[in-house]
A = this chain, B = another copy of it.
Amino acid sequence: MGDSVLTNKQGLTEKEFLSLYNAEQYERPSVTVDMLVFTVMNEIKESYRKLPEKALKILLVKRGNHPFMGYWALPGGFVDMNESLEEAALRELKEETSIDNIYMEQLYTWGDVGRDPRTRVIGCSYMSLVDSSKLCVQAGDDADDAKWFKINYNVIEQKNTVLGKGCKVQNRVRLILSNDSEELTALVKVDKTFDGNIVRVSRELTESDGIAFDHGKIIEYAVSRLRNKIEYTDIAFSFMPEQFSLTELQQVYEVILGKKLLKANFRRKVSEMVMVTDEYTKDAGHRPSRLYKYNPNWVERHFD
C-alpha cells in the first residue's frame, strides 16, 4: 500500500484517510448473486426398447415474498459484507434448494437501473452445470418451492439489415420453461449491431410470463452462452455421471445445441476426451453399449 508519509490534498496520511473513510456517506446500490443451475435429465421411455430422451433443465424457486411473490425466480439473494461473491452464491443456493458443493462459473453482471422494484440492484449471475443423478433438490427455508423446468429455446424471428458501413442482426428468442404443473414464457429481443469495427449486443425482455424480475433475459443469455461454449470446451462433461455411454454424451450435446449430430463424426470428435472402461450398460432392450469416463489428461481445452 502507499507510503504512509504521503499526504493527500486535504493533508491526510493514508492511515488518517482510511480511519475517516465512511462508506455510509454515499448512496450505494445493493448487490445480489443469482445462480443458473442447469442439468440434463432423462424423460420417460417411450417403449422398453427405445432409449429415454434427454432434456435440458434449469432450477427455479418460487418466490415466497414480494416483489414477484408467487413467481418463479433464479435462486439467489443479497451479498453479505464478509463473504465473496462465490461464497454468497453457494450459500444462497443451499438456503433455497439444499444443493451443496457444486462447481460454478461467473456468467455476467446485470446493472440496469430499473431491474428491481425495491431499490437499485446490481445482480451478478453464476452458472452451474450438474449431473442430475447426484442431486436431490428440496425447497429450503427462503423459498416456497424449488423445481426443475424443462427449457425450450427457439429463435422465432431473424432479421438482417445491411447498414451504411455495418449491419444489424435482430433475433427474437422465445423461451418456454415447463414442468408437470407450470408453464412459464419469456420473449427476448437480441440485437447485434456491427458499426464499423464495433459490435454492440443488446438484450431486451419484451414479454415475461410467470418469471420474476429480468430473469427470463438472464436465462436466455445463459443458454446462448452454453450453446456457444459446448462447441469449444469440455463443459458437457459436467453434466455426465462418472461413467456414461457415448450415445448419452451425444444426447447431451444434441439437447444443448438443439440439433442432431452424426454418430461416427461425434465419436471421432470426443475420442480424445474420454477413456474406455471395461463396463457395459445392461437390460437395454438392445445391444449394450460400452461405458466411458472423462479423460482428465485431455489438454486442448479452451477457456472463455
| Majority secondary structure of chain A interface residues (helix, strand, loop or mixed) | loop
**Given A109-B109, A302-B228, A304-B304, CB of A6 within 8 Å of CB of B103:** no
Instruction: Give the number of residues in A that approach B within 8 Å (Cβ atoms).
Output: 80
CB pair B79–A29 under 8 Å, yes or no, is: yes
Q: Which residues from B are CB-within-8-Å of A165?
A: 296
CB pair A69–B166 under 8 Å, yes or no, is: no
Select one of B66, B167, B301 contacting A2, CB under 8 A.
B66
A81 and B113 CA atoms in complex are apart in Å by: 8
CB pair A119–B2 under 8 Å, yes or no, is: no
Select one of B6, B81, B113, B304 contacting A27, CB under 8 A.
B81
Q: Which of A30, A122, A297 has the most CB of B within 10 A?
A: A122
A6 and B67 CA atoms in complex are apart in Å by: 10
CB pair B238–A167 under 8 Å, yes or no, is: no
A12 and B67 CA atoms in complex are apart in Å by: 11
Q: Does A112 contact B (CB under 8 A)?
A: yes
Q: Which of A2, A26, A71, A302 has the most CB of B within 10 A?
A: A2
**Given A14-B66, A296-B167, CB of A120 within 8 Å of CB of B81:** yes
**Given A23-B119, A297-B162, CB of A109 within 8 Å of CB of B81:** no
Select one of B29, B70, B71, B88 contacting A31, CB under 8 A.
B29
Q: Which residues from B are CB-within-8-Å of A70?
A: 2-3, 6
